[in-house]
Structure 1
Amino acid sequence: MKRSFSVVCGITVIGLATVGCGKRTPVVEVSVNDSGVTVEEIAVDGELDLAWPQWRGGVGGRANEDAATTSALPTEWNAESNVRWQADVPGRGHSSPIVVGDLVVIGSATETPAEQFVLAYDRNDGRELWKRVVHSGGLPSARAVHRKATHANGTIASDGVRLVTAHLNSDHVWATALDMEGELLWQTDIGAFVSKFGYAPSPVLYKSLVIIAADNSGGGYLVGLDVRTGEIAWRRSRGNVSSYSSPALVTVDGVDQVVISGGDRLASYAPATGEMLWETPCIAEATCGTAIATADRIYASGGYPEKETICVDGKGKQIWSNRTGLYEPSLVTDGKNLFAVSDDGVAYCWDAVDGKQHWKKRLGGNFSSSPVIAGGNVYVSDLSGNDYVFQAGAEKYQLVAKNRLGDDCYASPAVAGDAILFRVGVGQGAGRQEKLFCIANES
């Protein structure tokens, strides 16, 4: 497969990082003046249903409550009941499903053959419509990937015209764009990557840019690319720490920002230019969860080795914090309350304004998946395949249902109209098979 490399002039090499093996990966900073890329609004087909177009749905894991169908979402199911359809997923991946128009799209990977690929399924009946291999060979070695991780961790982002994904391959991070039929549009090497546990972040879309993070010990960076061409519009150095959070596009006090945790700080950047707006020392060296926001506040949690959940205003000033840490799962809010489920299975509800703890409940088990809010309920799955549905309320923890689809669940659910989509693992060891379930109330 032919790969296009972005070439820019008048740039400065900064942030040389020396890692344990002595490898250096210079970060080449690029400004929009260097690249000449113009950031513009992208026309979106008003008839196209962008139900859940990227990681966390693009709105921090909260479904569009304006859709009347959210009130019809199921709360109880198993592998035989309230299943609209199910489909086999080849390989392994933690890439969560997205829903765009009539497509459900995920990423996956196999080691034999060594391939990273994108799959599209029919939203109505689960038929596999196409599969596009974006990388053959070049997978990281086993020692460079965490035992829980895969070679397809990131969730795909779509503007309804393109599908954009990012992979670690051949010691670099590559951004790839496909059209809605799975044909390759462009592929760009966005930078070198020294892997400690693999690559995890998902891309996020802003106007005509796609923004991708790549924090690593060899020299981390945040990159904005022209989604139409794959040309690098800007690139910013982020230091020399391995961290795994995805960038989040938020609008706080009317200001668009890209916020990301990791490297012992929460940092904000202007999405059109990559210029840093502010950074606040907090949380931990390594984080996995994605920050979320309300109209006037930003929330983030992590991590390793320290633990902290923090709330800041739109300029990074701390409002409140506590010593609870979520490493893999992300937070979710309904605007009034902040909900969380920790890696070791404790659910929390805090007041979004002052951080007061309303309740705390041990669910048991372990969690990697992030919760979503829809129809007044929180939906979240554990690593044993149990799906919890509890009320998104502050008065007390109120379990609505505990369901089960498979034997494990790493990916996060997507909400689309009257249905919820889950990616789960069924079976164990060599016999394990990943499946995609569309859960909806039986008519």
Structure 2
Amino acid sequence: MSSRSWLLALLVFGCVPFAAAETTAPRVEGFTPAATDWPWWRGPSNNGIAVADQDPPVTWSETENVIWKTPIPGRGHSCATVVGDRVFLTTADEEKELLAVVCLSRKTGELLWRSDVHQGGMEKKGHKKSSQASSTVACDGQQVYFNFLHQGNMVTTALDLEGKQVWQTKVVGFATHQGFGSSPALFGSLVYVTADSKTGGVLAALSRERGEIIWQAHRPEKPNYASPIVLHVAGKDQLLVSGCDLASGFHPKTGEKFWEIEGATTECVTTMVTDGSRVFVSGGYPRKHVQAIEADGSGKTAWENNVQVYVPSMIVKDGYLYAIQDGGVASCWKSSDGEEKWKERVGGTFSASLTLVGDKLYGINEAGTSFVFRANPEKFEKLAENKLPGEAFATPTICGGQIFLRIAEHKEGKRQEMVYCLGKKN
């Protein structure tokens, strides 16, 4: 039996093991990501896990294992989206009040095009760590989708692969508190976006083809920053979102609410992950917590602790939950009951999320220092520590044996964002 047939049989009979649940890719009509793609936020399987059959470098520097390094205009915290031979990022020129998407050649790093999406009307408020281009691009092989704040609204736009606008939809008014960073998710024929603020918000499903809103669910009048995600959990595909003091699961096609519990804190940034039966949420304000929720509609919390994993999203592998706290402490818990297996201070402050390749976890702190450590529940095992000059808020993208890092360098009093493509040279 082929691996695909084996997985389908398991899905039909409802006995998906942890490993299968962690690597099931979302079904996007008309698009199957290649093994060398990273097509949207949290990667091809929506869980921060890269395709295992690759060998990216473990060590690097300004000169070691650098394939190319390219300056990009403006400022942003979105991570690189890689499909085929192209790399996409959102960016913002705050002086010119310009919001744009840039496209680079994956092979050389050459800037292929820049599409200016919004001019003027840029949001001026927000936390000092936030950016006006924190929403990561999603790509279905034909179009790219992304969110920006513009003139007090959250706006979703689709471009073709040459940077020409296909459609643009004003989704909802938005009152900025700390900032905005929610990235779109793709499933079936739809693109999902969310925007939570003190004036109220929505979780909306838009047509990928035309941009009209197919369905929407109204959200509380509270600030929040989490991105929606579609995961196969508790035997079915669920559209998940946390924050606003809620954790919720929806039917991706219809918007029917499968379940919702009061539990997640008000302000969440991390994106949910699953071990196949539970979903894991975390937040940082007004309380700090990591919470495991049974996603079968029972509304039960399996376990909870008071650890602050506010911004960096977590990873589940083989029944264990791995996290880096904002304050630079790496942790491992048993996903079924929350038993702490280990914790270790790695250093620095983290905003970027973890990325997993095989049994190696990659994380980068705000000072540009990357840590590679083993996804090993028995002990913390650091494999490497690498430093690039500058600051880093964007999550590492790893695909096709390459690592894409977005770093902001400061030289001669000027700030310049760079994209590094790291890989082993033949």
**Alignment TM-score, normalising by the size of structure 1:** 0.87
Q: Secondary structure at the match of 1:432?
A: strand
1:395-434 map, 5 Å: 395-427=378-410, 430-434=413-417
Deviation at residue 278 of structure 1 after TM alignment = 1.0
Deviation at residue 191 of structure 1 after TM alignment = 1.0
Deviation at residue 428 of structure 1 after TM alignment = 6.3
- 1:52 counterpart (16, 38, 41): 38
**Counterpart for residue 120 of structure 2:** 137
Contact 1:49 1:101 in 2 (8 A): no
- 1:340 counterpart (323, 334, 344): 323
Deviation at residue 430 of structure 1 after TM alignment = 4.6
- 2:171 counterpart (165, 182, 190): 190
- 2:98 counterpart (105, 112, 115): 115
**Counterpart for residue 292 of structure 2:** 311
Q: Secondary structure at the match of 2:42?
A: helix
1:94-113 map, 5 Å: 94-113=77-96
Contact 1:61 1:332 in 2 (8 A): yes
Q: Secondary structure at the match of 2:356?
A: strand
**Counterpart for residue 48 of structure 2:** 61
Contact 1:51 1:100 in 2 (8 A): yes
Percent identity between the two aligned chains: 35
CA distance in structure 1 between the aligned counterparts of 2:328 and 2:64, rounded to whole angstroms: 26
AA paired with 1:359? W
**Counterpart for residue 374 of structure 1:** 357
**Counterpart for residue 157 of structure 2:** 176
Q: Secondary structure at the match of 1:87?
A: strand
AA paired with 2:203? L
AA paired with 1:166? N
- 2:371 counterpart (388, 405, 409): 388
Gaps of 5+ in 1: 1-39
1:45–1:244 distance in 2 versus 1, CA, 3 Å: closer
Contact 1:49 1:100 in 2 (8 A): no
CA distance in structure 1 between the aligned counterparts of 2:382 and 2:286, rounded to whole angstroms: 31
Q: Does 1:357 align with 2:340?
A: yes
Deviation at residue 219 of structure 1 after TM alignment = 0.9
AA paired with 1:53? P
Q: Does 1:261 align with 2:248?
A: no
Q: Could you list the per-position Cα deviations for residues 58-108 of structure 1 after superposition, in whole angstroms to 9, with x for gaps in the alignment?
A: 42111122xx3x2x2110000111001111111100011011111111100
**Counterpart for residue 286 of structure 1:** 267
AA paired with 2:37? A
Q: Bigger shift: 309-318 or 386-395?
A: 309-318
**Alignment TM-score, normalising by the size of structure 2:** 0.90
CA distance in structure 1 between the aligned counterparts of 2:185 and 2:36, rounded to whole angstroms: 14
**Counterpart for residue 210 of structure 2:** 229
Q: Does 1:205 align with 2:186?
A: yes
AA paired with 1:292? V
- 1:86 counterpart (49, 69, 89): 69
Contact 1:283 1:306 in 2 (8 A): no
Q: Could you list the per-position Cα deviations for residues 242-263 of structure 1 after superposition, in whole angstroms to 9, with x for gaps in the alignment?
A: 0001111111132111111111
Q: Secondary structure at the match of 1:242?
A: coil
AA paired with 1:42? E
Deviation at residue 198 of structure 1 after TM alignment = 2.0
Contact 2:368 2:389 in 1 (8 A): yes
Q: Could you list the per-position Cα deviations for residues 100-123 of structure 1 after superposition, in whole angstroms to 9, with x for gaps in the alignment?
A: 111111100002211100011111
Deviation at residue 318 of structure 1 after TM alignment = 1.5
Moved over 4 A (4+): none
CA distance in structure 2 between the aligned counterparts of 1:370 and 1:297, rounded to whole angstroms: 20
Deviation at residue 51 of structure 1 after TM alignment = 1.3
Contact 1:302 1:327 in 2 (8 A): yes
CA distance in structure 2 between the aligned counterparts of 1:428 and 1:375, rounded to whole angstroms: 36
Number of residue pairs matched by the alignment: 397
Gaps of 5+ in 2: 1-26
CA distance in structure 1 between the aligned counterparts of 2:275 and 2:40, rounded to whole angstroms: 18
Contact 1:116 1:136 in 2 (8 A): yes
Contact 1:217 1:240 in 2 (8 A): yes
Deviation at residue 325 of structure 1 after TM alignment = 2.1
